[in-house]
Amino acid sequence: MLSRVAAVMAPRTHNRRRVTGSSGRRREGRESEPQRPEMSRRVFDSTVLLFLVIMMCCSGVETAEVGSNADASTSGSALMGAIAGEGSASGGVEELQRVDLFVPQTTQVLPKKGTTDSSTARDSFVSPSLVSAGGVIAAFAEGHINAKNSHTGSTKPSSDVVAEYIDSAWEWPTVVGEVNKETWRAHTVLGKAEGEGSFDVVRHPTTTMKDNKVFLLAGSTALSYVNGSWEEGSLELKLVVGEVKKPSAGGEQSGWIKWGEVQSPG
């Protein structure tokens, strides 16, 4: 089929010339042309087969990437990742690996100045984000705690911004192994202990980076107990800048990003 199409699209042309015979009359004849070598059918078929195989492989890779991206977009509290598995005898790929960074009532969060024993869990995580700077990948989330008051019986909500730090030099299997360790901890970046009374609730953290610095912008507000319920006050913007320190062997992850004082943008 392809050979026929090629023949139709590129028809063979002939050049004609005029010559004068001994009688003086002109005559036309076909100019002799060197015969063009024809492509071997076997070579042509092999080329077509190789082209089809390449197209099938590219299609398979594209499908796998789309599937992975679709899965990642459906989980706001998890960092999705995959490594390319070794091909099996049938040419398949191993199952994708997944790791959950922020797990409600499971992931332990350290205060800015604390030990492993002082870590606490969060009831839920929302608004995740990811930023990379200075050799450190930082995953952020808004952590919520619903503390019940023993005197009033009401539940006082509170939230803070927490982060987990990953060495960008780690291969994906190393990331999975580190996150799944019992000693893995998230770290408080912005919350009640890091501010004044207006830090009862921290909302919508947004992050960006420049060079080796990470910028965290979030809204914060105080809570007031009015008529048997907790009410939020006016929302204030807060900015905190962190300087990334290059991860060192055996160094504590809490020191990978050194956060500055909380600022209120004018």
The Cα 4–Cα 9 span in angstroms is 9
What pTM was estimated for this model as a whole?
0.62
Residues 6+ apart with CB under 8 A from 1: none
Q: Are residues 53 and 108 in the same domain?
A: no
Has residue 266 been placed in a domain?
no
Q: Of 193, 223, 206, which Cα lies nearest the Cα of 127?
A: 206
Shared-domain flag, residues 147 and 61: no
Stretch (H or E) spanning 62: helix 41-73
Question: Domain of 242?
Answer: 101-259
CA–CA–CA angle 172, 121, 76 (5° rounding): 50
In a domain, 62, yes or no: yes
Tens-digit pLDDT profile for residues 127-184: 999 999 999 999 999 999 987 766 666 777 889 999 999 999 999 999 999 999 999 9
Question: 212: phi > 0 → left, psi -120 to 50 → alpha, else beta; which?
Answer: alpha
pLDDT tens for residues 9-18? 444 444 444 4
Q: How far apart (Å, rounded) are the C-alpha atoms in residues 45 and 38?
A: 14
How many distinct structural domains can be found in the chain?
2
Pair (131, 194) in one structural domain: yes
